[in-house]
Structure 1
């Protein structure tokens, strides 16, 4: 069994601590989320998550091939049919004023880094496919879904933070959050792995067709 170098372990602990403190001060600070994930990168939990993800043959093939699509051009996607995944994706990002490359860049050097990059690239597509919104309940529901499908440790961290924040600041919200989290987790267990999909190769496919094929309807 390989052991982490003490210096690497210290750097990881510092990155996690910095991210946790920043997230506590400002839960909307996305950069603190990436700091925590950077610290968790070489953890045993992340290694187990990679093994779990690659247990699906189709996902393992995509990981091995290092499939990465060009950054989407929203103006081009808005020319697609209005029921297509491409149009729905571009319209939702345009309406919200989001940048498709909002995420922190990560160099692909192994399976774990590739998986993290792919999850960051397709986060907003997952919102569309699952039907979870971008409000607090929707984000936590999606994180529960992601936890069921990937075992990604960051998903568990964000679920924990979200519930703790609600408990301390808006306890009445738990009545909505808990069922949504449960729904997301169960949905993740019974649907096809979203990480195995090459969304960008079929932007023209209707969103509802994607959802049906992946087990979200019917």
Structure 2
């Protein structure tokens, strides 16, 4: 990898045609291409949220052969990254012992290290995103009560959500909205961040994402595509850099997972617009049909990370062989076809 100071200097607005070339090279295993791709994603996530659509669309076109290369608008509001940010960023990247909760908190903490202007920039980006119109029309929702979900018909969305939360010991809102000070955010960001805390597990169920490690990464790309969720952009930038630094051999498959879910989010109607509380008694199948929601499908196993970290030797060996075959196809420039 190039030096960290060199990487800092490369984190700037990319030329999208050059990014297409870099992403194509990264797909074949080229380290320089990966670093150019990472510089673009890092810039979008931490400096210019409105640019993430163009960046990931371009990468998806290189990876999957689907999507478009956009032109940048004339003006892109952009924050700057200082030494304090980079110190915080590399501390997160270098940490080796994260679990699901601690990495969530660590990525969220990076929001406190960015340019103070990014809050205003992110609010404007949220207001302009086509999937976030509800944030301008609806009040910040109150808390969902677990009692509301009790006694709903078996197989209904509400019943499935209740079962998921109780069986796994989840919190209905994932994180405490007050503990992470969402009430201090401006209107659109406050609404969207509160709502996704409430609806994250609902979207898992309805959009077809498992609660496995790989699908948690995938649903972040889905959320980013759906309404420009800036935390998801930051999370993906961190995950990709960790892969590049620690497991570059898996970078191509990780990008496959992310771009599949990104396009799934692009092609799915805006889930933020749905009054989910009205759908509690209805089955997931009927909701999908009503709103034309196709469940996520990937060429990769839904429990990829869990198989690699556990299960039997023979299961791991079989998966390693399969993943190696897929990685070789990517390095040859082939497209791995998913069902989304």
Given that residues 16 and 35 in structure 1 are in contact (C-alpha distance below 8 angstroms), is that contact kept between their aligned partners in structure 2? no
Q: Distance in 2 between matches of 1:201 and 1:45?
A: 33
Q: Distance in 1 between matches of 2:195 and 2:87?
A: 25
Match of 2:294 in 1: 217
Match of 1:144 in 2: 221
Match of 1:72 in 2: 145
Match of 2:235 in 1: 158
Distance change (3 Å), C-alpha of 1:14 and 1:169: closer
Q: Distance in 1 between matches of 2:206 and 2:86?
A: 30
Counterparts of 1:29-178 in structure 2, within 5 Å, are 29=102, 30-39=104-113, 42-43=117-118, 45-53=121-129, 55=130, 59-73=132-146, 76-105=148-177, 106-107=182-183, 109-174=186-251, 176-178=253-255
Deviates more, 1:187-196 or 1:150-159: 150-159
Residue 42 of structure 1, CA deviation: 4.9
Unaligned runs of 5+ in 1: 1-8
Secondary structure, aligned partner of 2:170 = coil
Equivalent residue in structure 1 for 2:267, among 181, 184, 190: 190
Q: Distance in 2 between matches of 1:148 and 1:158?
A: 14
Unaligned runs of 5+ in 2: 1-78, 296-340
Residue 131 of structure 1, CA deviation: 1.3
Deviations 1:174-211 (A, max 9, x none): 45423221211111111111111221232111111222
Q: Distance in 2 between matches of 1:69 and 1:197?
A: 16
Secondary structure, aligned partner of 2:223 = helix
Secondary structure, aligned partner of 1:148 = helix
Residue 76 of structure 1, CA deviation: 4.9
Residue 71 of structure 1, CA deviation: 2.1
Q: Distance in 1 between matches of 2:165 and 2:190?
A: 25
Distance change (3 Å), C-alpha of 1:14 and 1:209: farther
Given that residues 19 and 34 in structure 1 are in contact (C-alpha distance below 8 angstroms), is that contact kept between their aligned partners in structure 2? no
Deviates more, 1:23-32 or 1:148-157: 23-32
Deviates more, 1:86-95 or 1:36-45: 36-45
Deviations 1:36-88 (A, max 9, x none): 235568516513431333x45xx524532215143231x55242122211111
Q: Distance in 2 between matches of 1:110 and 1:79?
A: 34
Given that residues 18 and 32 in structure 1 are in contact (C-alpha distance below 8 angstroms), is that contact kept between their aligned partners in structure 2? no
Residue 97 of structure 1, CA deviation: 1.4
TM-score by length of 1: 0.77
TM-score by length of 2: 0.52
Q: Distance in 2 between matches of 1:133 and 1:19?
A: 28
Q: Distance in 2 between matches of 1:146 and 1:52?
A: 16
Q: Distance in 1 between matches of 2:135 and 2:162?
A: 24
- Which structure has the bigger radius of gyration? 2
Match of 1:6 in 2: none
Residue-pair matches, total: 205
Residue 91 of structure 1, CA deviation: 1.2
